Amino acid sequence: MDQRIVDLETKRLEKLPPREVGPYLMTLPAKKRMETILARADAQAVVAALPEQDFYLTLKEIGPEDALPLLELARVDQINHVFDLEMWRKDRIVPGPAIQWLDRLYRASGRKLLAWLYHADFEFLVSLFKKWLRVVQVPEDKDLTEALDGLPKNTLDDQYFWEARYPQHEDLLRNILNFLFETHHGFYKELMDHLIWALDAEVEEEAYRFHRGRLEDRAIPDYYDALEIYKALDPGDLTHDKLLLERDGEDAVNPPAFALVAVPEGALLWRALAGVEHPRVVETLQLEMASLANKVVVADAVSPEDVEDLHEAAGKAAAMVNLGLELITAGDVTLARSALEQIYLEHLFRLGHGKVAEVQRSLRRIVKGGWLSRWPSGLTILDWPWSERVEGLLEKTAKVTRLQGKERPRLVPSFIQDRGDLRDAAHWVRVVAALAPVFESLQADTSQLAESLWAEAQVRILEEVTLGSLLFTAAAWNLLGQSRRVEPLPVERWPEIFSAADPESVAESLQGFVDTCVEGDKRRRLVWEYVQDLVDRYDEETRAFRGSDPPDLRLMPFFLFRPPR
């Protein structure tokens, strides 16, 4: 991008009021995002205007240690959200990560830590400190000097004695308790009393209830509610009655913008969003997309610790919504824009995901009960690129490969996001299904193959045998004037084999075999698509060798060989 354009964009961001700059910040790389915030005179107001989920993702992208300046500027609600995601695993507090985050907050700002302590749920604080400290009191019937030998070494008032369960964090815990003791002795005393007398299970259960309530307020559901997004939806069940977000006033926090940033550039959803101008519609879509991404995170059991997984969850939400949008509008941008204003994005997600799930179910039937289940090592029988395609479709959420990158395009795994992807995926499954009679007709004896393969060849063990190597071996026997079979070829006859097995002859032999064992022109065309890939690769790799000058057979992956005698 032209540097002048970048500079103009930076200046524009610097002039936007805090409430308006947030959505633009989320489109910037994480480090640039923080630099832009800190460069502003109103940095604290900009951070305060960030929705809790955008703030959290920014911390994770930058890295918690590098993001301490942002933590210092954070609202208590933003800190609560970070702690809700980082300090809990399901319904249990995890003390190790919890104390690490408290240490970061202390290093970022002691005053911010104190503000958080006063506003945090008291039950949560009790649960936390119970995991960090062992606290006892001097027995009433004993003199202090008599009891000292049996008491923990730390005390601030000769009344409550404590020891750290995490000795490496003892200084931090002492500083926190000092904060409370010096600024609010009543709060300190109540906390210490609860650490001694409160029942662990009861206070943690109550803390979890408040924790779940905050997450639900941020559109982060529990596991069973999140699974609702995977219930397939028929196009006929779509409704056009979406309610738009109502603001509570000028002081209301913006909806999170992180999920809309994941919409692929150029996709139908991206183009339709570009034409949405009404602020209420934009904010509603932001909230809906964030809610979908959150449901994916919960339903797929994604750990919030891995920022790449969080981005992938948002990408999955965007891809399924885009696919659903394409299915109901046939790619028409005007219709798509109208649909975004009237149809809930979750319904579009369920529509798109349902179609992908249909493709996956068809493939799984072949893998679990069809011809692929009869090969000892399963998918290894498939040749590249079909093995890669099938593995991508069998992932928890199906993926295809597509070219990405303008300067250096490369194939990368990507969610199915449009009708073209869906057609490709369904077609690949049909090709794999059509191969069943070919596999059956070859009648490969896996026990014999496992014992007879040459250890110096490209295909050395059964797991390296593919349908292509079985087909080419059978074609080679046929071209030597014998019956087609998948018995490994003799090394000694390699020059003769290679001379007979030129690409045109191999293709002709394989065509005859396919015509014999596969019924119907449509299925034959599907099978031949698979076979043609193999023939083309064989032609490309052997083009420099013809006639009496064969390549080193130890570099030839197309045929099976037995050891020399």
pLDDT given at position 411 = 78
The SS3 of residue 266 is coil
pLDDT tens for 154-210 read 999 888 999 999 999 999 999 999 989 998 899 999 999 999 999 999 999 999 999
Q: Is 163 exposed, middle or buried (0-12, 13-18, 19+ CB in 10 A)?
A: middle
Sign of CA dihedral 287, 293, 297, 299: positive
Cα distance between residue 530 and residue 382, in whole Å: 10
Residue 126 has a pLDDT of: 95
SS3 249: coil
Q: How far apart are CA 326 and CA 348, in angstroms?
A: 9
Question: Given phi > 0 = left and psi -120 to 50 = alpha, else beta, which region is 113?
Answer: alpha
| Category of 61 on φ-ψ map: left (φ > 0), alpha (ψ -120 to 50) or beta | alpha
Ranges of each domain in the chain: 3-219, 228-352, 355-419, 439-562
Is residue 499 classed exposed, middle or buried when 0-12, 13-18 and 19+ CB atoms within 10 A define those classes? middle
Tell me the residue type at 262. A
Q: What is the pLDDT of residue 251?
A: 57
C-beta neighbour count of 240 within 10 angstroms: 11
Mapped onto helix, strand or coil, the DSSP state of residue 458 is coil
Q: What is the pLDDT of residue 305?
A: 77
Report, as ranges of residue numbers, the positions in the chain whose pLDDT lies below 70.
Answer: 1-12, 140-147, 247-253, 405-407, 546-548
- Spatial separation of the C-alpha atoms in residues 558 and 338, rounded to whole Å: 53
pLDDT tens column, 300-330: 988 877 889 899 999 999 999 999 999 999 9
Instruction: Give CA–CA dist 526/433, Å, rounded.
Output: 9
